[in-house]
Structure 1
Amino acid sequence: MASLLTFYISLWILMIANIISYRLYADDSTEYGVLPGKIATNCSCGWANKRTGRIIGGKDTGEHEYPAMVGVIAPTGSYIENNLICGGTLITRRHIVTAAHCVHTTSGAPVKPEQLRFVLGVHRLSEINYNDPEVMRKAERFITHPKYDKSITSYDLAIVLLEKPVVYSDIIGPACMPTGRMYPVGKKLAAIGWGFMDLKATKPDALQKVNINVVPPNYCYGYEQFNKEEGFQYCTHQGDHSGQCVGDSGGPILWRDPDTNRYTLVAAPSFSKAGCIFEPAVVSDITYFIPWIQQVISETYPQEQTCSKVQESGSWTFPDQDTGAVLFPDD
């Protein structure tokens, strides 16, 4: 009983700290993601459009603020009609990262590529022209991580191969990719999506964002599916009625690298408890999956490349994924 009381007291303290940190350190500067930083990237990525100012308790993003955002939609005639089911992140002109469960039915059966469309360059869902093939992009195929297990939501990552390459513009472009392992405890991350805004299943029209924190893994030990050993997940939390909810799965969780002043894809929402608010969420650690992502790109469209921070020789490495080793790059 005492240990349970201690846990709830620590959770309450964490919630209060999150509220304070969110208000003090919200990633809302008009300079964030706009001007280049002191270190370059090897190609254009991760910029933000700060022209103006689902995720529970989130707020509207600026108009086309995050060009890498992708909406995963089941169009009319598909197994869910005109319904945004997930998010995704553009990483090359032909590749989108999303959650594996987003390309499977609730029973675990693979979804056929023709059953989904992928929307880029849209801020409001009401703006989507469902008859425009340039807006409703088709997939060639889905590549699910070979260790994905629907029953325990493990290795919950997939790559979408687009039927035609995307033409980059100011409102459509890739997120930067990490250059090595990182465990961003203490870093402010931004979760982006059109997921439900409240427990009444109200969906927003405009794209939403909320700042979230990475918390110690023990806060997610209550989830039977949380993997404590292999290091491909971590635990996030935001205690001010904000959080990731239905419709946010697979979407971008971004970290603004202060060296580049560009947004880097570091995680993708996987699952949380029903209710969403006040509950920790489990996310897939993109930095763990970088070797697999790069392998998929090289085996499908090797002419495409992801964009990352230019590194000095030897400054980042990928540890053997079987060792569980983690590197902590400097902020």
Structure 2
Amino acid sequence: MKCLLIFAVCCLALAKSQQFWFPIIQYYPIDGNFDYPSIVPIQPILPIQPIVPSTPRYADNGEYPYQVAIQVDGKAHCGGTLISKKHVLTAAHCTHDWIQQGKDKRTIKVIAGTSVLDGSGTVLRVANVSQHQHFGQQSESSAILINDIAIITLTQEIKESSTVKIIKLPPDNFEIGDNTQVMVSGFGTTELGGPPSRKLKSLYMSVTNPSICATNWQNRGSVTVAHICAKPIEEFGACEGDSGGPLVLADKSTIVGIVSQGIGLGCKSGWPDLYTRVSYYLDWINSQIALTS
């Protein structure tokens, strides 16, 4: 955490003059035996919006069998996606601390096969964590993250079932058109400052034209071809605890993005969130899988 906090302080100094937003992972307790993390604001940095429509859409068990929850020291930390029998795709800002601190991998668990964080599901152990070697801010004057992608390698192969399945990666040269309907899911909060959800939720999003997205994110950095912008159809977007989770095609066949950042102008801002574009990193993903298979 120390390294990331130093990084965040630098961002905060910039934010005072330019109103940047930057995700910081922290923990706080809720009822029961669960402690959940949050992407929380260090003023004036604001969190991104929660994954809930006007009425939360909770997932049925097995509805999103590729979705996993990542726990650290027994506490929920981020989301992730099963992309092979031994590999989980997530965000680099979720794994940054572990790598910097030399985190004992025995303290990191991946929970698959459940839509409710109640102790059910399959516990998967971690063998290796690889994040993109050039992960970070675009520049000292930018709040936008680049190369926000990481892969967790499991100690053993998963057994697929009705509630545990691998999702397809996009094909080479995959293009996703403006206004394409996509879906995001996660265990994040349902209101700013509130506790994350024990139940998996989902929300439909619409892919936003890059030029419109760039206008929304102006003065915060450059939206690039390595990003996907997706706008909440029902005003709400991704939030605290959803980081690293999947953005998928509406038919849930293919992952296209990884939850990365949001502007965070309130829960109902309707502004587009930023996702890591999976198709841009196919070579990197395949190389990491080859190295750890």
Tell me if both proteins adopt one fold, taking TM over 0.5 as the criterion: yes
Distance of 2:158 and 2:219 partners within structure 1: 39
Distance of 2:220 and 2:125 partners within structure 1: 32
Matches within 5 A, 1:271-290: 271-274=261-264, 275-278=266-269, 279-290=271-282
SS at match of 1:190: strand
| Between structures 1 and 2, the one with greater strand share | 2
Distance of 1:89 and 1:210 partners within structure 2: 16
Q: Could you tell me how far 1:289 is from its partner in structure 2?
A: 0.9
Matched, 1:186 2:179: yes
Distance of 1:165 and 1:277 partners within structure 2: 40
Q: Could you tell me how far 1:55 is from its partner in structure 2?
A: 1.3
**Aligned residue number for residue 149 of structure 1:** 136
Q: Is the 8 A contact 1:253 1:269 kept in 2?
A: yes
SS at match of 2:118: helix
**Aligned residue number for residue 114 of structure 2:** 122
Which runs of 5 or more structure 1 residues have no equivalent in the other structure?
A: 1-53, 77-81, 130-134, 302-331
Q: Is the 8 A contact 1:56 1:277 kept in 2?
A: no
**Aligned residue number for residue 228 of structure 1:** 223
Matched, 1:89 2:81: yes
TM-score (norm 1): 0.64
Q: Is the 8 A contact 1:144 1:157 kept in 2?
A: yes
**CA pair 86-286 structure 1, distance change in 2 beyond 3 A:** same
Q: Could you tell me how far 1:128 is from its partner in structure 2?
A: 3.6
**Aligned residue number for residue 61 of structure 2:** 63
Which runs of 5 or more structure 2 residues have no equivalent in the other structure?
A: 1-49, 138-142
Matched, 1:237 2:228: no
Give percent identity, aligned residues only. 24
Distance of 2:159 and 2:119 partners within structure 1: 19
Q: Is the 8 A contact 1:61 1:207 kept in 2?
A: yes
Q: Is the 8 A contact 1:104 1:111 kept in 2?
A: no
**Aligned residue number for residue 74 of structure 1:** 72
Matched, 1:213 2:200: no
Distance of 2:127 and 2:82 partners within structure 1: 15
Deviation per CA, 1:67-117: give whole Å up to 9, x if none. Answer: 1011011233xxxxx2x2211000111101000011123997565433321
Moved more, 199-208 or 244-253: 199-208
Q: CA RMSD in A?
A: 2.4
Letter in 1 for 2:111: V
Q: Is the 8 A contact 2:69 2:111 kept in 1?
A: yes
**Aligned residue number for residue 11 of structure 2:** none
**CA pair 124-241 structure 1, distance change in 2 beyond 3 A:** same
Aligned length: 232
**Aligned residue number for residue 267 of structure 1:** 257
**Aligned residue number for residue 204 of structure 1:** 197
Matched, 1:139 2:126: yes
Q: Is the 8 A contact 2:213 2:223 kept in 1?
A: no
Matched, 1:247 2:241: yes
Distance of 1:89 and 1:246 partners within structure 2: 17
Q: Could you tell me how far 1:126 is from its partner in structure 2?
A: 1.8
**Aligned residue number for residue 8 of structure 1:** none
Distance of 1:67 and 1:263 partners within structure 2: 11
Letter in 2 for 1:65: E
Matched, 1:113 2:105: yes
Letter in 2 for 1:95: H
SS at match of 1:60: coil
Distance of 1:256 and 1:240 partners within structure 2: 15
Distance of 1:244 and 1:234 partners within structure 2: 14
Q: Is the 8 A contact 1:103 1:111 kept in 2?
A: no
TM-score (norm 2): 0.72
Distance of 1:70 and 1:239 partners within structure 2: 24
**CA pair 204-228 structure 1, distance change in 2 beyond 3 A:** closer
**CA pair 96-280 structure 1, distance change in 2 beyond 3 A:** same
Letter in 2 for 1:248: D
SS at match of 2:258: strand
**Aligned residue number for residue 50 of structure 1:** none
Letter in 1 for 2:123: M
Q: Could you tell me how far 1:263 is from its partner in structure 2?
A: 1.4
Letter in 1 for 2:257: A
Letter in 1 for 2:249: W
Distance of 2:102 and 2:207 partners within structure 1: 31
Matched, 1:169 2:161: yes
Q: Is the 8 A contact 1:211 1:238 kept in 2?
A: yes
Q: Could you tell me how far 1:168 is from its partner in structure 2?
A: 1.0
**Aligned residue number for residue 21 of structure 2:** none
Distance of 1:251 and 1:243 partners within structure 2: 12
Q: Is the 8 A contact 1:252 1:268 kept in 2?
A: yes
